Structure 1
Amino acid sequence: MLSKMRAYGAICAFVAFLLAMAEPASAIQGGTVSKHGPWAVRVYIDGEPSCTGTVVAPEWVITAGHCVRYDNWDITFRVGSLDQRHGKVVRRVENGTVFASGADVALVRVPRLDVQPIGLGTGASVKVGRSVRSYGWGATCAPPRSEGSCQSNVLKQAQVTIVKHADKRCDLLVGTGDFCVQRGTGLPAGGDSGGPATAFDKAGREVLVGVLSASDRTEVASFGDVTRLRSWIKWVIRTGGH
């Protein structure tokens, strides 16, 4: 139990560092309550609402790697509702978590869900200057209040704009497998980790293009680029990652 608490404390401190490198502002504050997002998933760590995820296949949820890092964490998901107080609770399948290389992204196997998965975007969706939509159940308050005390009960969304990878505001947030966005109608932060960034393809379908990795809570956030991981995601879904 002690080692579990230490591991949990260490990862929470790490996530807090990533999400607090600038003077904070509320998560998706100024955004709107979402009326759509059947594939959105609330992620719980040891019973506490902690992250966001997305259903990409009937048995697979994609989220941030740091949200599901340790096997001794009790990871559960609530699916099928835009209100985190409702929906179905499912647990991850043992030994069914697969981590991407070069991005803070993980695929987590779950019992088969009766949820329509979101499609995967292509590279054409991630261009500098393009507006994408961020979703999450993250914090609705700013410090000194604790983010854990004000997680949104309802799914929220905000439009954010992709900026250059070399933008100096993004230096401490983005890796080679990420893209950076700047605040638009809002900005994701604590509790939104692992949440989706979406765009609309040429057919008008909303598709997944990013997985939230980190945010400075004031100006910019980083997303693991799903369009670069498209082949890996399909391979894991097909083979189980083995």
Structure 2
Amino acid sequence: MVALSLLLAAAAAVTSFASAAHARLADPSHGIVGGAEVSAPTPWAAAVGWSRPGMCSGSVVARQWVLTAAHCLLPGDHTMTVAVGSADMAQGEVITVAEKHTRHDLLLLKLVSPATQAVPVKLADADPPVGAENEIFGWGRTSARAPAAGRLKVATVKVTRLDARDNKGGPAIESVKGSGHAHKGDSGGPQFYQGAQVGVCSQGYVERGIQMYASVARSREWIRATAGV
């Protein structure tokens, strides 16, 4: 079975990249399928994009740093922007990206200036146990042909393996859908266990509701060395 990238191929993307993304997302399934729009404040939320925010999801890990997926990068040198601090994408503080740093399928974005309305997430130092019920968040599509969600969505998933691999061969957490599962546009979005971020949305088997999230704990030293958190 071929693993499917979760990157949203949007009309605003560069044509050649969009074509490649569509090839990798041949299954026309929904976005975070099931789940619900968030009701609690999410001041750590980040919508990541190029000419505008919203192509991928992410999280604020420090006031000047956002964590997302490395496969959200476009080929070449393109300006990236993020909207941070609100579950409503249109209400987020829009800031340009100054630097990009990658490790496996993790991408750290340094912003040109600190976010004023965002509150950073807590990052986990250990993976969650197998069997744990975690929460995933993202702005992915809500139906096969719908645009990315304008308001952040959340769903529960159950951890099934800790020896999985992310989209670029790095260590990852495998989970199966609970109240929903991730898909297009949810790339880079966080997975939480007991209030701490344990993973970053990387890839999945859409037809089975399985997703791989790059492990935060096993790249914790790199995050600390790069972003100082």
Please, what TM-score do these two structures have when normalized by structure 2?
0.84
Q: Deviations over 1:39-90 (max 9, x none)?
A: 0101122226210110001110000011135452221111122111222110
- The code of the aligned residue for 1:121 comes to A
Which residue does the alignment assign to 1:25?
A: 29
Aligned-partner residue type, residue 27 of structure 1: G
Q: Which amino acid is 2:100 matched to?
A: T
Work out the CA distance in 1 between the residues paired with 2:35 and 2:168.
23
1:75 matched to 2:80? The reply is yes
Q: Hey, which of these two has a bigger chunk of strand by percent?
A: 2
Correspondence for 2:5: none
Instruction: Return 5+ residue gaps in structure 1 as ranges.
Output: 1-6, 201-205
- 1:197 alignment partner in structure 2: 191
Pairwise mapping of residues 11-22 of structure 1 onto structure 2 (< 5 A)?
Answer: 11-20=17-26
Instruction: Find the counterpart in structure 2 of residue 210 from structure 1.
Output: 199
RMSD: 2.4
Native 8 Å contact 2:68 2:188 kept in 1: yes
Q: Is the 8 A contact 1:18 1:215 kept in 2?
A: no
Q: Percent of pairs identical after alignment?
A: 30
Residue 107 of structure 2 is matched in structure 1 by 106
| Contact 2:140 2:148 survives alignment (8 Å) | yes
One-letter amino acid of the structure 1 residue matched with residue 215 of structure 2: D
Given candidates 181, 184, 201, the residue that maps to 1:187 is 181
State how far apart, in whole Å, the 2-side matches of 1:155 and 1:211 are.
15
**Which 5+ residue runs of structure 2 have no aligned equivalent?**
1-12
SS in 2 for 1:175: coil
- Partners in 1 of 2:52 and 2:201 — Cα distance? 21
1:236 is paired with a residue whose SS is helix
2-structure distance, mates of 1:9, 1:214: 22
Structure 2 residue aligned with 1:156: 153
CA deviations 1:153-202 (Å, max 9, x no partner) are: 11000001111256xxx7896834111111110011111100000111xx
Hey, what does 1:227 align to over in structure 2?
A: 217
Name the CA shift for 1:10/1:66 in 2 (closer, same or farther; >3 Å).
Answer: farther
Return the offset for 1:25: 2.5
Q: 8 Å contact 1:79–1:89 — kept in the other structure?
A: yes
> Of the two, which has the highest radius of gyration?
1
CA displacement at 1:119 relative to structure 2 = 1.0
Which amino acid is the alignment partner of residue 108 of structure 2?
L
- SS of equivalent to 2:206: coil
Which stretch of the first structure deviates more once superposed, 32-41 or 183-192? 32-41
After TM superposition, give the deviation of residue 12 of structure 1 in Å: 3.5
Deviation at 1:97, TM superposition (A): 0.8
Secondary structure at the aligned position of 1:49 is classed as coil
> Matched residues in 2 for 1:174 and 1:128: separation?
22
For this pair of structures, how many residues does the alignment match? 213
Say whether 1:49 aligns with 2:43.
no
